Amino acid sequence: MKLSSKITSPIEVEMKRFEPYYRKNFDTKIPLLNIITNYLVRRKGKQMRPMLVFLSAKLCGEVGEGTYTAAGLIELLHNATLIHDDVVDETYQRRGFFSINALWRSKIAVLVGDYYLAMGLIRSLEEDQTEVLRIVSKAVKAMSEGELLQIEKSRKLNITEDVYYEIIRKKTATLIAACTGAGALSSGASKETISKMHDFGENLGIAFQIRDDLLDYERTNISGKPTGNDLKEKKMTLPLIHVLEQQPSVKKRKILSTIRRHHKNEKKIAPIVEFVKDNGGIEYARTKMSEYRDKALEILNSFPESEAREGLIELVHFTTTRKV
């Protein structure tokens, strides 16, 4: 799904300049690290997070050198967490490419992730961007807490809706909020405006993650059936959580027992996916996603009209309608 020109046009110049700026972080004499970095740069995605930083800066003021530092730090952090996530989840492909741990083993992948994180910290200190570093460091802490909370709860399969929101706020929304908050900070915005943009990013991040959870019920395998990948990993997401809360305790225990004992068995998982669909789980999650989308849009609409505002509005709609 291609990004609209409404999103990319306001920051076209900045994103072109960002490319060589970002590559400077990987000036190393270690051949293996150069090979891996070139592989990662070639398979880059849409670079949504740097785009959020630049659009937020333009919405609140002017893009400055601090904006590039913030975008670079967050992109380095994002890539580091993806590499580490692939190791933790034993994932061997991402966006159609082999993961680092698949090609170079887990030990190397962890070290490369650590290197990316260290480079982000060094760049921030060299550019004297301590406030940006503070925002991003808080996001790293929250992301780690969210991952650990999800692992703990997946063992017991006792996630309530409140716990679910805590997990996705920490795991996903905090980094997106760091993008929008750091972007505003880099433009010289007031504390009130930075806080407002942080709230915007958090609402967008929650909507983003709910959409991601819904996609798991929409993606199909070769036979045309939902993949149920989250259930195979014992991840309890909003559609299932909502449906389980409506069931009698006997039915709920039976479903949880199946997930606990047969989560890797596609034939056992498929009926649970259909049960969630038939009992309103998808509709409920879509309603909640729309609520957070509307909260994000309400914050944006409090800013004066501009190309950056229109770009962010379009990005919100893209996030909640995407197919991948």
Parse the chain into domains and list their residue ranges.
5-321
pLDDT at 181: 97
HSE-CB at 77 with a 13 A cutoff on CA atoms is 30
pLDDT at 323: 84
CA torsion 133→138→139→142, rounded to 10°?
160
pLDDT-derived band of residue 222, with 50, 70 and 90 as boundaries? very low
Place of tokens 């501009």: 306
How far is it, in rounded angstroms, from Cα 232 to Cα 287? 25
Can you point out the beta strands (E) in the chain? 93-94, 97-98
The dihedrals phi and psi of 247, each to the nearest 5 degrees, come to -90, 155
Model pLDDT for residues 239-296, shown as the tens digit of each residue: 999 999 999 999 999 999 999 888 788 888 889 999 999 999 999 999 999 999 999 9
Amino acid at 168: I
State the chain's mean pLDDT as an integer: 89
| 12 within 8 A of 58, measured Cβ to Cβ | no
Largest CA distance in the chain: 62
Q: What average pLDDT score do residues 197-209 get?
A: 98
Measure the N-to-C terminal CA separation of the chain; round to a whole number of Å. 7
Model pLDDT for residues 161-194, shown as the tens digit of each residue: 999 999 999 999 999 999 999 999 999 999 999 9
Number of helices (H), then strands (E), belonging to the chain: the values are 16, 2
pLDDT-derived band of residue 1, with 50, 70 and 90 as boundaries? low
Residue from 197, 150, 193, 191 nearest 178 by CA: 197
pLDDT-derived band of residue 87, with 50, 70 and 90 as boundaries? confident
Say which CATH class 5-321 falls into.
mainly alpha
The rounded Cα 44 to chain-centroid distance in angstroms is: 15
